[in-house]
Amino acid sequence: MPQKYLSDAKRVLDRAHKVLKETGWFSKVQWTGMNKRTLSEETPWKILYYPGERAKQEITLARKRIAEMQPALKSRIAVEEIFYEDFAKENLIQEIERITGDKHSRPTYSKVVRGLPEEVIWRFLSELKADYLHGPLKVRKSLAAVFMDKVRRYCEEHGIDIGVKFGEQVL
């Protein structure tokens, strides 16, 4: 919904802009057309977004994937679905890394994302954040260890082998 006042528009978007800048999607956000405090058709506000390193990496990756998929494009495979699936998995791996604070276990997290349903992983991350924010963790483990413990228990309960040796893993 368009905001009538510039201050309201900035208030609504500034938090999101901050997160996108911190995560590397934007390098800069610039508001233009701000000579008036209220929105009008003659002088609309515009926001210019400058791509950050993460956005540039994603663009490069997408271009590479398109080049690799030229034969698939000719056979009419739904490329958008493939890109979305890869993007969703990569996004989930990055969220696991961000929430657990562990960037060294990417190969393990990739196996988790490939082997478990997405909604289960999101539930684990939500539980982990809730435990961390609203109550002290009862065990003295890293957030990554607590996350992997949830994964291990789920795999054992459902008879799933995701290719991770839980007893030998160093987190």
Q: What does the pLDDT average to over 158-166? A: 88
Q: What is the pLDDT of residues 42-66, one digit of tens each?
A: 666 788 888 899 988 888 888 887 7
Q: Which of 77-81, 87-91, 112-116, 127-131 has the lowest mean pLDDT?
A: 77-81
Domain that holds residue 95: 69-162
Regarding whether 75 and 23 lie in a shared domain, the answer is no
What's the token pair of residue 63? 């271009």
> Can you give the pLDDT at residue 74?
55
pLDDT band with cut points at 50, 70 and 90 for residue 170: very low
Average pLDDT for the chain: 80
Where do the H-state alpha helices sit in 23-77?
53-68, 70-74
SS3 75: coil
pLDDT at 72: 57
Higher pLDDT among residues 121 and 62, named by residue: 121
Strand runs (DSSP E) across the chain, as ranges? 26-32, 46-51
155 within some domain? yes
Residues 155 and 78 in one domain: yes
- Of residues 108 and 84, more confidence is placed in 108
Q: How many domains does the chain have?
A: 2
Residue with the larger pLDDT of the pair 116 and 63: 116
Q: Left if phi > 0, otherwise alpha if psi is -120 to 50, otherwise beta: which for 137?
A: beta
Q: Are residues 28 and 99 in the same domain?
A: no
Q: pLDDT band at 34, cuts 50/70/90?
A: low
In a domain, 64, yes or no: no
Q: Look at residue 143 and tell me if it is in a domain.
A: yes
Same domain, 31 and 74: no
Q: What percent of the chain has pLDDT over 70?
A: 75
Cα separation of 147 and 143, whole Å?
A: 6
pLDDT digits (tens, 9 = 90+) for 74-100: 555 555 566 667 788 888 999 999 989
Does 117 lie in the same domain as 38? no
User: Could you tell me which residues come within 8 angstroms of residue 31 by beta carbon, excluding any fewer than 6 positions away?
Assistant: 6, 10, 45, 46, 47, 48
Which of 50, 13, 11, 10 is CA-nearest to residue 28? 50
| pTM exceeding the 0.75 threshold for the entire prediction | no
Query: Residues 93, 47: one domain?
Result: no
Mean pLDDT of 154-159: 93
In a domain, 142, yes or no: yes
Three-class SS of residue 60? helix
